Amino acid sequence: MKKYLSMLLLGVTALVAANAAQAGAIDDAVKRGTLKVGMDPTYMPFEMTDKRGEIIGFEVDILKAMAKSMGVKLELVSTGYDGIIPAFLTGKFDMIGSGMTLTQERNLRLNFSEPFIVVGQTLLIRKELEGTIKSYKDLNDEKYRLTSKLGTTGEMVAKKLISKAKYHGYDNEQEGVLDVVNGKADAFVYDAPYNVVAEKKVGNGKLVFLEEPFTFEPLAFGLKKGDYDSINFINNFLHQIKNDGTYDRIHDKWFKSSEWLKDME
């Protein structure tokens, strides 16, 4: 009898632990009344800081809609990109929403929602190299110097696919772009949506945008391993907004209009 009761108690304990594990980030946010999202607000037009000091962008608007659907407030926790995963894993915020590419390497440490957009790496090159550099393969030579942002897939791709070129990474995107504008580097490797804006905003006529993406990069929200309830909620939220017009409205605001650039000057 004692053995039976002991086994029964262990079963109840395991069930309670399983139910506790299922609580997850979304449930915690609802109970708290605030959804905390970690992001590095330097990635135009996904998340960036405007001239009033407010964080705005495509991904920010999606997160605002998500928080509204949960009936909670959205709190954006500004965090350097190269340290965003460690900060998340130590509980600084509920999820990562920072233009993060769903890579297999990251997927070993995090769970991801379904992608909310797919992008690819492209190049901003020095004007003088127009015609000479037609693709990333032409840059794979030790005489060229590349830049990107530390900890991003731009850096990973530069080191993997253009490994013969010299590389120097920066803490933010604009420093890397300005290196090319000022002739200190030959090319900036980064996501297409950022590069198309950067060419107009800081290019000063000294950059050429090679717009054909040469990688496949789904961007998604990062969550803790095992948090399947939160993934289920976010995926269903994404399905809803992609079919009720909300996603298209937000997308067009940031990708088919340049009005928001006035807030960045």
Domain encompassing residue 233: 24-116+216-261
Instruction: Please indicate, yes or no, if residue 83 is contained in any of the structural domains.
Output: yes
Tell me how many domains the chain contains. Answer: 2
**Helices and strands per DSSP (H, E), number in the chain:** 10, 15
Say if 220 falls within a structural domain.
yes
Tell whether 197 and 125 lie within a shared domain: yes
Residue 2 is assigned to a structural domain of this protein:
no
Within the chain, strands assigned E span 34-39, 42-43, 47-49, 55-56, 73-78, 95-96, 111-112, 117-119, 121-126, 145-149, 166-170, 187-191, 207-210, 217-219, 222-223
pLDDT score of 10: 53
- 124 and 104: one domain? no
Residue 6 within a domain:
no
Of the chain, the end-to-end C-alpha distance in Å amounts to 76
List the chain pLDDT tens, one digit each, 265 residues: 555 545 555 554 544 444 444 579 999 999 999 999 999 999 999 999 999 999 999 999 999 999 999 999 999 999 999 999 999 999 999 999 999 999 999 999 999 999 999 999 999 999 999 999 999 999 999 999 999 999 999 999 999 999 999 999 999 999 999 999 999 999 999 999 999 999 988 898 999 999 999 999 999 999 999 999 999 999 999 999 999 999 999 999 999 988 898 888 6
What pLDDT does residue 21 have? 47
Residue type, 195: N
* 76 and 44 within one domain: yes
Tell me if 165 is assigned to some domain. Answer: yes
**At residue 255, what is the residue type?**
F
Based on the fold, state whether residues 59 and 102 are members of the same structural domain.
yes
Same domain flag for 196 and 127: yes
Burial call 167-206: b when 16+ CB within 10 Å, e when fewer: bbbbeebbebbbbbbeeebbbbbbbbbbbbbbbeebbeee
List, in order, residues 6 or more apart from 192 with CB less than 8 Å away.
119, 120, 121, 122, 211, 213
Indicate whether 170 and 133 sit together in one domain: yes
Tell me whether residue 8 is in a domain.
no
Residues 96 and 158 in one domain: no
3-state helix, strand, coil in the chain (%, to 5): 45, 20, 30
Check residue 18 and give its pLDDT.
Answer: 44
195 and 228 belong to one structural domain? no
